Amino acid sequence: MSYLENTLTPAWRGLYARYAAQRAQGLAWFQRLSPRERRLVLGLATVVLAALVWLILIDPAVNTITSARQALPGLRTQAATVASLTERARGLKRSSAAHAAGTLPSEAELRTSLRQAGLQDAQWSLPAPAGDGKSVTVKFALAPAEPLLRWLDTAPNDWRLSVDNVELLRARDADQRRLPGKVNGTITLVPRVAGKN
């Protein structure tokens, strides 16, 4: 008895004995083959082993790499979106901290805000402050309605302002025909009263 047979439990000894018998039969069968048949059997065993290595080790790794490459652009886009939103939130926090209730935004801050909303400098103007700096009025000319309304929905909240007055009319051309999606008018913002949202 070999050392391996001595260290195995009786159940494993039986299995090992069957394996040893099958192995001996296989070697005897292999020895009876002609040299050409042996080469064919070894070639077939090599092909089967290579197929198993491919299916078990290489193919799953290749599939994982391929799916990761396909997902990477989407993940980069999401990361850029999150970074952009984080930077915007920080900017809003800084702006909110800089603008305590009762203060109005500067012309530079208004310009930046309107540009970010998609409004060009030629589409708006800032007349002199009304009421000794207690309100700010923005005049619009041929401004696109969608970005203007989007700005009106968000910007006053960013500065803790309330909308005091809105006078917007659909813009008209020289023949008095309405221009689709364009408006003229004014919007007046005032500091928010404490206790009101």
In a domain, 86, yes or no: no
Residues 6+ apart with CB under 8 A from 33: 41
Round to whole Å and give the CA distance between 93 and 195: 20
Looking at the DSSP bridge assignments, the partners of residue 163 are: 189
In a domain, 163, yes or no: yes
In a domain, 90, yes or no: no
What is the structure's pLDDT at 179? 84
Burial of 171 (0-12, 13-18, 19+ CB in 10 A): buried
What is the structure's pLDDT at 131? 47
Per-residue pLDDT of the chain (197 residues; tens, 9 = 90+): 556 556 667 777 778 888 889 999 988 998 898 999 989 999 999 999 999 999 999 999 999 999 999 999 999 999 999 988 888 777 766 665 555 555 777 788 888 888 888 888 888 887 765 445 678 888 998 899 898 888 888 877 777 787 888 888 888 888 888 888 889 999 888 887 655 54
For the chain, what is the domain count?
Answer: 1
Q: Which two tokens stand for residue 70?
A: 């396909």
Q: Do 33 and 41 touch, CB atoms closer than 8 A?
A: yes
What is the structure's pLDDT at 99? 53
What is the structure's pLDDT at 94? 63
In a domain, 172, yes or no: yes
Domain that holds residue 148: 101-191
In a domain, 40, yes or no: no
What is the structure's pLDDT at 129? 54
Residues 6+ apart with CB under 8 A from 145: 168, 181, 182, 183
Half-sphere exposure of 115 (CA within 13 A, CB side): 7
In a domain, 15, yes or no: no
In this structure, which amino acid lies at residue 60?
Answer: P
Q: Which CATH number belongs to the domain containing residue 114 in this structure?
A: 3.30.1360
In a domain, 7, yes or no: no
- Nearest CA among 178, 182, 112, 170 for reference residue 143: 182
Round to whole Å and give the CA distance between 31 and 41: 12
In a domain, 158, yes or no: yes
